[in-house]
Amino acid sequence: MTLSLLWLEYQQQWPDGYQYTPCCAHYDHWCQTLDSVLRHHYTPGDKMFVDYAGVTMPIHDAVTGGHFAAQIFVATLGASNYTFVEVQPDQSLASWIQGPVHAVEAFQGVPLVVVPDNLRSGVAHSDRYEPVLTVTYQEWAHHDHTTILPARVHKPKDKAPVETPVKIVEHQVLGPLRHQTFFSLAEANRAVQILVDQLNHQPFQKIPGSRWEHWDQEERPALQALPSQRYALAEWRHARVPMDYHVEVLGSYYRVPYRLVHAIVDVRMTTTTVEVFFDHERVASHLRATRSAMWVTDPHHRPPHHQAVLDWTPERFHGWATQFGPATTQIIDQILSTVMYPEDNYRRCLGILQGLGHHYGPATVEAAAVQAVAAQVFSYRGLKHWCEQQTAGSPKPASSEAGTPSANIRGASYYDHSGEALPPGGETSS
């Protein structure tokens, strides 16, 4: 807007009103009543201002014929006004982080301070004195060794160095491209980059040089060095650890240490990894699942008794039995070959090797196993009977235990004619 245009609009409404010269005099008098304006002098390498343009760019789909409104990210260095522009799919957190990551690479250095708007993707809670940044935005700032100072809400003068470049970009970059049709973000960015380069090399009107010259001579040497590795975008979220100590992330499940059951943890997700933090300490790190409903585990996170159960295998019990002797090994192998639920068989083997082995000792168990094999007794209870006979010094045959492990089945003679169970010692062999 100019004074001459304002005066022409005024004349259309009030043809007999002030002429142009007295109108300008009244305008100058009004300007004297305005509050003073602080003119900032920006030190090279100090600040970078970022914002989205108010207009968008349509990106078309060659297949469906539809289109979406791409966003225009603009970053400007405070001292040189050197400008970076990128066409982005949206204003999401991923795009908001991608913008400054690519901007500092184009500027070939990192400024000390980044001044953004209070976009929800970067500022979780706006506050004049202590704004709260999103975890990802703060993490990027820490990675690149810079500081985020959001502008005050509804205070565009706080980021004036980017407000003017945004308008210039809209006029000199987006305007000339308004009649072109783009079918991808990459195609749009290539066209935008050509005009942005022309803008940066265009001479200033009131001062000597151009944006590029001021950046090359003054600002680029003052910027901090780029980090050795580009920041990898990471999403953060909270999760409560359930009883099975697997936290759910986007439909997949990742194990954490069992001691954190019921605790609230922080989950950091990149394109390749999932990390879990508790009390600012990383407690688990996994490769990210390649599909949903995957269970990603780490054996070290299980409690000992869970790990012991999952470590039960026929091979382990066979190797354990060989430490007792061949007869014990034969009994264990016979139990493991029985067509029963595996964990049931494992429990019987554990009763022999751990329970009887601890109570009677391997030598006694092996001696009892020799007699049990001879009697064709292949069960925990049968071997326990022979161990008791070994310690009593009077081994007796246990024909009731012969054959398959059915020692718990009582014959009809176990009951008298009244249906009452016989007293101990009244059980007869069948």
* Tens digits of pLDDT across the chain (430 residues): 788 888 888 888 888 888 999 889 988 888 888 766 555 678 999 999 999 998 899 999 888 888 999 999 999 999 999 999 999 999 988 899 999 999 999 999 999 999 998 888 788 887 777 888 888 899 999 999 999 998 876 555 555 555 778 888 998 999 899 889 999 999 999 999 999 999 999 998 888 899 999 999 999 999 999 999 999 888 888 889 887 778 888 888 888 888 888 899 999 988 888 999 999 899 898 888 888 777 777 666 556 655 555 556 788 888 889 999 999 999 999 988 886 666 667 778 888 998 898 889 999 999 999 999 999 989 888 899 889 888 875 444 443 343 444 444 444 444 444 444 334 333 333 3
At 84 the pLDDT is 96
At 426 the pLDDT is 39
- Residue 214 in any domain: the answer is yes
Mark whether 206 and 240 lie in a shared domain. no
Mark whether 245 and 340 lie in a shared domain. no
At 156 the pLDDT is 58
Mark whether 57 and 166 lie in a shared domain. yes
Using CA atoms, how far apart are residues 388 and 360, in angstroms rounded to an integer?
A: 9
Mark whether 254 and 395 lie in a shared domain. no
Nearest residue to 169 via CA among 46, 52, 40, 48:
52
Mark whether 69 and 143 lie in a shared domain. yes
- Residue 41 in any domain: the answer is no
- Residue 206 in any domain: the answer is yes
- Residue 307 in any domain: the answer is no
Mark whether 68 and 90 lie in a shared domain. yes
Mark whether 211 and 279 lie in a shared domain. no
Quote the number of domains for the chain: 3
At 341 the pLDDT is 60
At 343 the pLDDT is 64
At 355 the pLDDT is 87
Mark whether 61 and 190 lie in a shared domain. yes
At 424 the pLDDT is 38
At 98 the pLDDT is 93
Using CA atoms, how far apart are residues 90 and 337, in angstroms rounded to an integer?
A: 62
Q: Which residues pair with 176 in a beta bridge?
A: none
Using CA atoms, how far apart are residues 202 and 205, in angstroms rounded to an integer?
A: 9
At 64 the pLDDT is 86
Q: Which residues pair with 267 in a beta bridge?
A: 237, 276
- Residue 227 in any domain: the answer is no
Residue 196 belongs to a domain with what CATH number?
A: 3.30.420.10
Using CA atoms, how far apart are residues 270 and 274, in angstroms rounded to an integer?
A: 6
- Residue 179 in any domain: the answer is yes
At 31 the pLDDT is 81
- Residue 412 in any domain: the answer is no
Mark whether 138 and 278 lie in a shared domain. no
Domain that holds residue 240: 235-301
At 428 the pLDDT is 36
Mark whether 294 and 378 lie in a shared domain. no
Please answer whether residues 54 and 88 qualify as being in contact, where contact means their C-beta atoms are separated by less than 8 angstroms. Answer: no
Please answer whether residues 286 and 274 qualify as being in contact, where contact means their C-beta atoms are separated by less than 8 angstroms. Answer: yes
- Residue 203 in any domain: the answer is yes
At 403 the pLDDT is 40
